[in-house]
């Protein structure tokens, strides 16, 4: 699932990855006036198809992948995912909100995390 300003892209089939990535790239370019330079993935087969590979090379995006069975290479992403899920759970359970609001709570958690100061950014917020 990719989220951006209340736009949610759900993947129903792994064959949708190339189109979802293209849409995401367009959002990044339009909303943030920047481009994606590197796509780092975890060796998921959905990222190794000919249409995505040719698109990445045409757009000049470097395609990196981690070694098989080395979850430590995905550490930053896994920690961020764990942080996002922890904040989502706190929002839901601390406030006794039903689980069917999970999507909205995740979007709210993402918004809050993006506005909170970060130690890795010298106490600045990512926004």
| Tens digit of each residue's pLDDT, the chain (127 residues) | 444 554 555 667 777 878 888 888 998 888 888 889 988 776 666 666 667 888 888 899 988 877 666 666 666 677 788 889 999 999 999 888 888 888 899 999 998 888 888 777 777 776 6
Asked if 2 and 59 sit in the same domain, the reply is yes
Does one domain contain both 37 and 91? no
Task: Tell me which residue range forms the domain holding 82.
Answer: 69-127
- 82 with 42, same domain: the answer is no
Considering the domain architecture, whether residues 7 and 59 belong to the same structural domain is answered as yes
Task: Count the residues in the chain.
Answer: 127
Tell me: do 101 and 122 sit in the same domain.
yes
Pairwise CA distance, residues 51 & 63, whole Å: 13
Q: Tell me, yes or no, if the pTM score tops 0.85.
A: no
Q: How far apart are CA 105 and CA 115, in angstroms?
A: 15
Residues 57 and 37 in one domain: yes
Task: Tell me how many domains the chain contains.
Answer: 2
Question: Are 39 and 78 members of one domain?
Answer: no
Q: Which residue among 65, 83, 118 closes a domain? A: 65
Rounded CA-CA distance 38/60 in Å is 9
The last residue of a domain, from among 65, 82, 111? 65
What's the pLDDT score for residue 44? Answer: 64
19 and 4 in a common domain: yes
Burial of 42 (0-12, 13-18, 19+ CB in 10 A): middle
User: Which residue bears the tokens 């090379």?
Assistant: 57
pLDDT for the residue 89: 93
Same domain, 113 and 57: no
Q: Are 84 and 124 in the same domain?
A: yes
The pLDDT score that the predictor gives to residue 86 is 93
Q: Are residues 89 and 57 in the same domain?
A: no
pLDDT value at residue 88: 93
């Amino acid at each position: 699932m990719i989220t951006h300003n209340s736009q949610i892209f759900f993947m129903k089939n792994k064959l949708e990855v190339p189109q979802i990535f293209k849409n995401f790239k367009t959002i990044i370019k339009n909303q943030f006036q920047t481009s994606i330079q590197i796509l780092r993935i975890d060796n998921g087969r959905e990222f190794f198809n000919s249409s995505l590979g040719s698109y990445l090379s045409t757009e000049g995006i470097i395609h990196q992948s981690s070694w098989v069975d080395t979850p430590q290479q995905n550490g930053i992403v896994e920690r961020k995912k764990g942080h996002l899920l922890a904040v989502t759970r706190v929002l839901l359970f601390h406030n006794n909100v039903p689980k069917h609001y999970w999507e909205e709570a995740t979007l709210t958690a993402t918004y809050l995390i993006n506005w909170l100061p970060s130690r890795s950014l010298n106490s600045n917020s990512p926004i």
